[in-house]
Amino acid sequence: MSVQTTGGSLTKEQIDFYNEEGYVVLPHLLTEEDLRPAREAMEHKVDIIAGELFEAGLVADKLEQRPFRYRLAELFRDLTAADFLKYGRGWRDRFPGYFHLMSNPKILDAVESLIGGELFANPVYNTRPKIPKIAAGAVPWHQDKSYWPDANANPVITVWIPFVDANELNGCLHIKPRTQHKRLLKWHRETVSGTGYTALHNSQLGRTPTVALPVEAGSAILFNDRCLHMSTANLSDEVRWSVDLRYQPTNQDPMPQHGIGFLARSGKHPERTATLEDWLAHKPEHE
């Protein structure tokens, strides 16, 4: 079996930027073709939801012909936030398309530049169907680490990828640069949207100016799990589709309390790298 590691794909400037600022933007990392399997997984889920809404008499039309970027928004246009949140604020389905995306060598090459070539795909990954004009669309200021405060894993790198162009109208990501060295701040559960997101009070955010990160579909934003970030509500009429994936070095806490992650890349033990079948079977491949 050949060694899979590549040494990474980021330039010295990109690595330096990440190390200083706590995040880096990789414009157009992925092509339409790279996104396709995960997009099909999202479409599959929308089909299921449309079927259920139709069966329940909540919609009169499954809107099968509507484009991906609008269909889910239009299905829920006359329904309530509670109807939408029944399906969760984010989705973590074990559909093959997500494994293909999480194993994409372009993503792994980029992450390898930052934390080396022994890469564990953390169990926490989300598809975010941010539909228009519901409170739950906005994600309050937080550190990802607040979701795994006791885990012995540092750094966990989030790879955030939009499937449509993300901008200030449809609720792109916002970040506070250089906050990656902060300790984990005391968070609370937000209560406004019914999502229970972890959240920080404005008084905890410090003086660091906020940077909005509008990026085109297929771009990636990589950030450290202590970086303060948030996203605004979707004020457009389309769905702001995105995924957030996470990676960490293999010698760290695999966080089984959050699910089963997988060995995405290894130079030392390439034969242990998870296959789609392993992942679908929830086989722990990090041992």
Ligand X SMILES: O=C(O)CCC(=O)C(=O)O
Q: How far apart are CB 64 and ligand X at their closest, in Å?
A: 26
Using CB under 6 A as the binding rule, whether residue 128 contacts ligand X is answered as yes
- The answer to whether 253 and 217 have CB atoms below 8 angstroms apart is no
Instruction: Indicate the burial class of 96 (C-beta count within 10 angstroms; 0-12, 13-18, 19 or more).
Output: middle
Task: Name which of 144 and 285 has its Cβ closer to ligand X.
Answer: 144
Q: How far apart are CB 77 and ligand X at their closest, in Å?
A: 20
Question: Using the rule CB under 6 A, which residue among 39, 176, 229, 286 binds ligand X?
Answer: 229
Task: Name which of 219 and 242 has its Cβ closer to ligand X.
Answer: 242
Query: Encoding tokens for residue 263?
Result: 């060995």
**Per-residue interface string for the shown chain with ligand X, residues 234-263, x marking contact by CB under 6 A:** --------x-x-------------------
Task: Name which of 178 and 269 has its Cβ closer to ligand X.
Answer: 178
Task: Name which of 131 and 274 has its Cβ closer to ligand X.
Answer: 131
CA atoms of 65 and 46, how far apart (whole Å):
12
Question: Using the rule CB under 6 A, which residue among 160, 187, 247, 279 binds ligand X?
Answer: 160
Query: Got the DSSP string for 96-112?
Result: HHHHHHHT-HHHHHHHH
**Per-residue interface string for the shown chain with ligand X, residues 68-107, x marking contact by CB under 6 A:** ----------------------------------------
Q: How far apart are CB 62 and ligand X at their closest, in Å?
A: 26
Burial code (b: 16+ CB inside 10 Å, e: under 16) for 264-280 equals bbbbeeeeebbeeebbe
Question: Using the rule CB under 6 A, which residue among 170, 193, 231, 248 binds ligand X?
Answer: 231
CB count within 10 Å of CB 209 equals 7
Task: Name which of 53 and 173 has its Cβ closer to ligand X.
Answer: 173
> In 3-state terms, what secondary structure has residue 82?
helix
- The answer to whether 175 and 23 have CB atoms below 8 angstroms apart is yes
Using CB under 6 A as the binding rule, whether residue 109 contacts ligand X is answered as no
Using CB under 6 A as the binding rule, whether residue 176 contacts ligand X is answered as no
Spacing of C-alpha 136 from chain mean position? 16
Task: Name which of 104 and 231 has its Cβ closer to ligand X.
Answer: 231
CA atoms of 277 and 187, how far apart (whole Å):
38
> In 3-state terms, what secondary structure has residue 65?
coil
Q: How many residues bind ligand X (CB under 6 A)?
A: 11
- The answer to whether 177 and 211 have CB atoms below 8 angstroms apart is yes
Cα angle 98, 154, 96 (rounded to 5 degrees) comes to 10
Binders in 135-154 for ligand X, by CB under 6 A: 139, 144
For ligand X, the binding residues (CB under 6 A) are 128, 130, 139, 144, 158, 160, 173, 229, 231, 242, 244
